[in-house]
């Protein structure tokens, strides 16, 4: 009896030891990611997070989605200052003029990046360089996204703007685009284009930056306003389109999208991030027309177009720096996303990871292959500086006064004068302390 009991006890101990050896009980390290990506972008990011979490058992990425724009960046800065930020954030590279010198981000050493498989030469050079500050890496690019021209094939055909295959005939020159808008109005009987134009809307500013760059102009030069007559004339052109009734005035972002998606405007000026809406609605047969997408036409001397890039960065949480293990996990996730960014491309974005950007899969992806090649070569970022970038103070100022000109609430000269006065104060001010 005693011998049998000891034998059973010994076998149980061995079984427990084997189970302990073969079934580790340690939990995966949680990696906290704060993101401003929602809608179709948020859905694709969730797919990538799920894919990474399923691909290994050492780390588990958990996301928190925060409101886009000023609220997001304010929270990141505030949280990092008190050591309460996450392990990883999304960031627009156009904000590096502010976040680079702010101390809110942690520099990433080459060895730390390499340990996770991240090498700068694997990424689009321009986007990689935008993530650098003072010779150090602070952000790892994910994509390029830009303004494009969506069109309704039925309406452009009615306006005589389609080729034999039903696609939009090439449009080159500002006069040609204006003629196309007039043709839609006269022959198709709808608004020519849909674009947000209410107070605090950004699209007019981004279109204006594109037109200015196409004319060889710059908004800023050595920290001073430099748009000159080219900028004034470009704003007058946009304003003229609205005053002639080619576009509805004072539409907010959802209303402008709804106008195009319901077939009540032939064109839509918007970012590539609306590609998922077009794809999904078309696939479900809820889109009442066949659509196409082209790069913003060459209206002047070149085909420059406003654009930006999403990226990943690690907050420098004061008094509570990220541990080596969490940093390793965060960077491994970033590497995974880059290598699997064909999923991200489904949102209309052009991947920054070169092997994906150059892949046959991306070249075959519709509708991305209708615009991505031209767009990628002609991106113009917002002006550098602490005041620049997505939802930065300069863009916020333009969003107040540009729509007022576009919708006829202020004469162009007065609207630009009010913008200039506010912009000069920003340009003359030091970067606010963190």
Q: What are 25-58's pLDDT values in tens digits? A: 568 999 999 999 988 899 999 999 999 999 999 9
Tell me how crowded residue 175 is: count the other CB atoms within 10 A of its CB.
Answer: 10
Tell me how crowded residue 258 is: count the other CB atoms within 10 A of its CB.
Answer: 14
Q: Is 3 exposed, middle or buried (0-12, 13-18, 19+ CB in 10 A)?
A: exposed
pLDDT at 5 (0 to 100): 42
pLDDT at 368 (0 to 100): 95
pLDDT at 4 (0 to 100): 44
Answer with the residue of higher pLDDT: 197 or 384. 197
pLDDT at 431 (0 to 100): 82
H helices of 64-223, in order, are 70-81, 96-102, 110-115, 125-130, 153-158, 174-183, 203-214
3 state DSSP class of 362 = helix
pLDDT over 80 (residue 158): yes
Tell me how crowded residue 304 is: count the other CB atoms within 10 A of its CB.
Answer: 24
- Phi and psi at residue 145, to the nearest 5°: -135, 150
Which residues make beta-bridge pairs with 191?
265
Alpha carbon 390 to its chain's center? 9
1-10, 236-245, 291-300: segment of lowest average pLDDT: 1-10
> What is the rounded radius of gyration, in angstroms, for the C-alpha atoms of the chain?
25
Binning pLDDT at 50, 70 and 90, where does residue 416 land?
very high
pLDDT, mean of residues 171-200: 97
pLDDT over 70 (residue 21): no
pLDDT over 90 (residue 215): yes
Q: Is 308 exposed, middle or buried (0-12, 13-18, 19+ CB in 10 A)?
A: buried
pLDDT at 22 (0 to 100): 53
Q: Is there a contact between 31 and 330 (Cβ–Cβ < 8 Å)?
A: yes
Tell me how crowded residue 162 is: count the other CB atoms within 10 A of its CB.
Answer: 18
pLDDT over 60 (residue 17): no
pLDDT at 314 (0 to 100): 98
Answer with the residue of higher pLDDT: 4 or 24. 24
pLDDT, mean of residues 287-301: 97
Residue with tokens 């389109």: 241
pLDDT over 70 (residue 425): yes
- Helical packing angle, 393-406 and 228-243, nearest 10°: 50
Nearest partner of 334 among 29, 54, 126, 33, judged by Cα:
33
Percent of the chain clearing pLDDT 90 (strictly above): 88
Nearest partner of 34 among 73, 81, 83, judged by Cα:
73
């Amino acid at each position: 009896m005693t011998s049998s009991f000891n034998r059973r006890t010994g076998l149980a101990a061995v079984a427990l030891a084997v189970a302990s050896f073969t079934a580790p009980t340690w939990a995966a390290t949680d990696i906290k990611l704060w993101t401003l990506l929602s809608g179709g972008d948020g859905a694709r990011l969730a797919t990538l997070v799920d894919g990474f979490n399923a691909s290994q058992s050492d780390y588990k990425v958990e996301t928190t989605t925060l409101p886009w724009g000023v609220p997001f960046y304010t929270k990141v800065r505030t949280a990092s200052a008190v050591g309460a930020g996450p392990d990883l954030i999304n960031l627009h590279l156009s904000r590096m003029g502010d976040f680079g010198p702010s101390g809110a981000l942690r520099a990433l050493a080459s060895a730390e990046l390499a340990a996770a498989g991240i090498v700068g030469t694997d990424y689009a050079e321009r986007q990689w360089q935008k993530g650098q500050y003072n010779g150090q890496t602070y952000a790892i690019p994910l994509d390029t996204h830009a303004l494009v021209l969506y069109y309704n094939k039925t309406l452009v055909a009615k306006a005589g703007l389609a080729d034999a295959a039903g696609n939009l005939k090439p449009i080159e020159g500002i006069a040609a685009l204006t003629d196309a808008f007039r043709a839609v109005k006269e022959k198709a009987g709808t608004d020519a284009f849909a674009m947000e134009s209410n107070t605090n809307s950004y699209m007019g500013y981004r279109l204006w930056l594109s037109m200015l760059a196409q004319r060889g102009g710059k908004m800023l030069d050595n920290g001073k306003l430099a748009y000159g007559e080219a900028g004034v004339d470009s704003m007058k052109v946009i304003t003229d389109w609205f005053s002639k009734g080619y576009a509805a005035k004072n539409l907010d972002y959802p209303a402008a999208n709804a106008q195009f998606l319901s077939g009540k405007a032939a064109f839509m000026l918007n970012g590539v991030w609306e590609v998922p809406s077009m794809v999904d609605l078309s696939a479900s047969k809820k889109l009442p027309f066949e659509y196409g997408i082209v790069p913003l036409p060459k209206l002047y001397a070149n085909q420059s177009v406003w654009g930006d890039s999403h990226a990943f960065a690690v907050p420098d949480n004061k008094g509570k720096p990220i541990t080596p293990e969490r940093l390793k996990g965060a960077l491994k996730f970033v590497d995974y996303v880059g290598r699997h960014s064909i999923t991200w491309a489904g949102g209309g974005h052009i991947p920054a990871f070169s092997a994906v950007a150059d892949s046959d899969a991306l070249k075959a992806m519709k509708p991305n292959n209708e615009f991505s090649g031209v767009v990628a070569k002609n991106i113009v970022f917002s002006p550098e500086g602490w005041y620049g970038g997505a939802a930065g103070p300069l863009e916020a100022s333009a969003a107040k006064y540009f729509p007022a000109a576009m919708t006829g609430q202020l004469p162009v000269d007065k609207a630009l004068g009010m913008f200039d006065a506010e912009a000069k104060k920003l340009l003359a001010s030091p970067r606010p302390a963190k």
